[in-house]
């Protein structure tokens, strides 16, 4: 059953059987559309009855990458569970993929971060002799050096990178642009990748301006970036459970440790509210505490 038809029938069910208010129904459909868009564009799943528990976990990771709050995640997952309970009731599915999915805790946890040494270990462990070595190393360095969201990375365009001037322009949430300076290491990696690798690829029509491409010359998906990060971290011997967003968190916390102003970090990350950036103050305090415990003369 395709997503469009399923959502239309579910909307009718909510009206006729549940007698929900229009605003409530619109909220349900809006949440379900997020899942449908992700499945169609990133997972190439056009039939809503073919979803697996692993697919759902990837969608939850995507919500996290998009910085959805735990409250938003809980609400969205509640909407999705209701929809799949309906599909089960209608005997459209025999196994409910949400049966083993728990709602996220509303308590906001401190994000996992990498040390500077761990970041360097992962990036330096990339096998440059491999077909995608230069690309993968550049992806990891871009995530870290620019603090990009994974959606911003996959949508990064060649026309918005200015290597000679030393900056790039990112299209962030709400289609808001922000300018991010480039360090010498990333400039070198980008030059190598763009001139030695990307320039020799057969690029698919419509994908000419995207920076990072797959072996078919098409824009990389968010799921593919997650896979690259996981594989390179495992190869480097990193035991922490990390995602592309871990590089963004590490970028911010390392800036704060180095004395950067919180407002400057807010601007670089593209946070609309300073309260979102303030979580890194807690990370910094944790870092200070660990340093004191490790180096205190009376330990």
DSSP code, position 236: T
The CATH fold of domain 116-295: hpI Integrase; Chain A (1.10.443)
Q: What is the pLDDT of residue 288?
A: 43
Catalytic-labelled residue, pool 173, 191, 231, 240:
173
**Which is nearest to 121 in space by CA: 226, 232, 227?**
232
Q: Give the count of beta carbons closer than 10 Å to the beta carbon of residue 252.
A: 25
Residue 217 bridge partners (DSSP): none
Q: Is the pLDDT at 191 greater than 90, yes or no?
A: yes
What gap in Å lies between CA 275 and CA 28, rounded to an integer?
A: 28
pLDDT over 90, % of the chain: 56
Catalytic-labelled residue, pool 135, 198, 254, 271:
271
Active site residue 271: yes
Catalytic-labelled residue, pool 135, 137, 149, 198:
149
pLDDT (tens digit per residue) in 115-138:
999 999 999 999 999 889 999 999
Secondary structure (3-state) at 40: helix
pTM over 0.75: no
Q: What is the pLDDT of residue 235?
A: 94
Q: What is the pLDDT of residue 80?
A: 94
CATH number assigned to the domain covering 3-89: 1.10.150
**Which is nearest to 217 in space by CA: 231, 232, 205?**
205
Q: Which two tokens stand for residue 229?
A: 């990060």
pLDDT (tens digit per residue) in 137-178:
999 999 999 999 998 999 999 999 999 999 999 988 777 889
Q: Which of 142-156, 237-251, 253-267 has the lowest mean pLDDT?
A: 253-267
**Which is nearest to 139 in space by CA: 272, 229, 235, 262?**
229
Q: What is the pLDDT of residue 109?
A: 55
Banded pLDDT at 275 (limits 50, 70, 90): low
Q: What is the pLDDT of residue 292?
A: 42
Catalytic-labelled residue, pool 135, 222, 248, 254:
248
Q: What is the pLDDT of residue 253?
A: 85
Q: Which of 4-8, 52-56, 66-70, 138-142 has the lowest mean pLDDT?
A: 66-70
Banded pLDDT at 277 (limits 50, 70, 90): low
Catalytic-labelled residue, pool 198, 222, 245, 254:
245
**Which is nearest to 80 in space by CA: 18, 147, 151, 27?**
27
Active site residue 144: no
Q: Is the pLDDT at 299 greater than 70, yes or no?
A: no
What gap in Å lies between CA 218 and CA 206, rounded to an integer?
A: 8
What gap in Å lies between CA 67 and CA 81, rounded to an integer?
A: 21
CB-count burial class (<10 Å; 0-12, 13-18, 19+) for 260: middle
What pairing do the DSSP bridges indicate for beta strands 161-162 and 177-181? unpaired
pLDDT (tens digit per residue) in 199-228:
999 999 999 999 999 999 999 998 899 999
CB 247 within 8 A of CB 76: no
- H helix intervals, 179-278: 184-192, 222-235, 244-257, 262-269, 274-277
Domain ranges of the chain: 3-89, 116-295
Active site residue 280: yes
Banded pLDDT at 186 (limits 50, 70, 90): very high
Q: What is the pLDDT of residue 64?
A: 76
What gap in Å lies between CA 58 and CA 60, rounded to an integer?
A: 5
Q: What is the pLDDT of residue 86?
A: 93
Any residues with CB less than 8 A from the CB of 59 and at least 6 apart, and which?
A: 35, 38, 39
Average pLDDT over residues 249-267: 82
Banded pLDDT at 252 (limits 50, 70, 90): confident
Q: What is the pLDDT of residue 47?
A: 95
Active site residue 149: yes
Active site residue 189: no
């Amino acid at each position: 059953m395709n997503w469009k038809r399923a959502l239309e029938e579910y909307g009718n069910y909510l009206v006729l059987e549940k007698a929900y208010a229009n605003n409530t129904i619109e909220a349900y459909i809006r949440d379900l559309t997020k899942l449908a868009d992700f499945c169609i564009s990133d997972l190439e799943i056009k039939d809503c009855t073919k979803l697996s528990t692993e697919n759902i976990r990837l969608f939850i990771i995507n919500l996290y990458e998009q910085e959805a709050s735990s409250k938003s995640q809980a609400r969205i997952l509640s909407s999705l569970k209701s929809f799949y309970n309906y599909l089960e009731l209608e005997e459209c599915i025999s196994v409910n993929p949400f049966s083993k999915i728990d709602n996220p805790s509303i308590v906001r946890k401190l994000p996992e971060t990498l040390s500077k040494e761990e970041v360097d270990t992962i990036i330096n462990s990339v096998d440059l002799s491999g077909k995608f070595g230069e690309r993968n190393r550049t992806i990891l360095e871009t995530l870290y050096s620019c603090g990009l969201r994974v959606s911003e990375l996959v949508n990064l365009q060649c026309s918005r990178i200015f290597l000679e001037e030393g900056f790039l322009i990112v299209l962030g949430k709400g289609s808001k642009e922000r300018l991010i300076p480039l360090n010498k290491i990333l400039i070198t990696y980008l030059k190598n990748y763009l001139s030695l690798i990307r320039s020799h690829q057969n690029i698919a029509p419509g994908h000419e301006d995207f920076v990072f491409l797959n072996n078919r010359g098409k824009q990389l998906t968010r799921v593919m970036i997650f896979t690259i990060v996981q594989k390179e971290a495992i190869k480097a011997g990193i035991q922490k459970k990390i995602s592309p967003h871990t590089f963004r968190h590490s970028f911010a916390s390392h800036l704060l440790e180095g004395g950067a102003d919180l407002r400057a970090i807010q601007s670089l990350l593209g946070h609309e509210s300073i309260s979102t950036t303030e979580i890194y103050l807690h990370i910094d305090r944790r870092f200070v505490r660990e340093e004191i415990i490790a180096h205190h003369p009376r330990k």
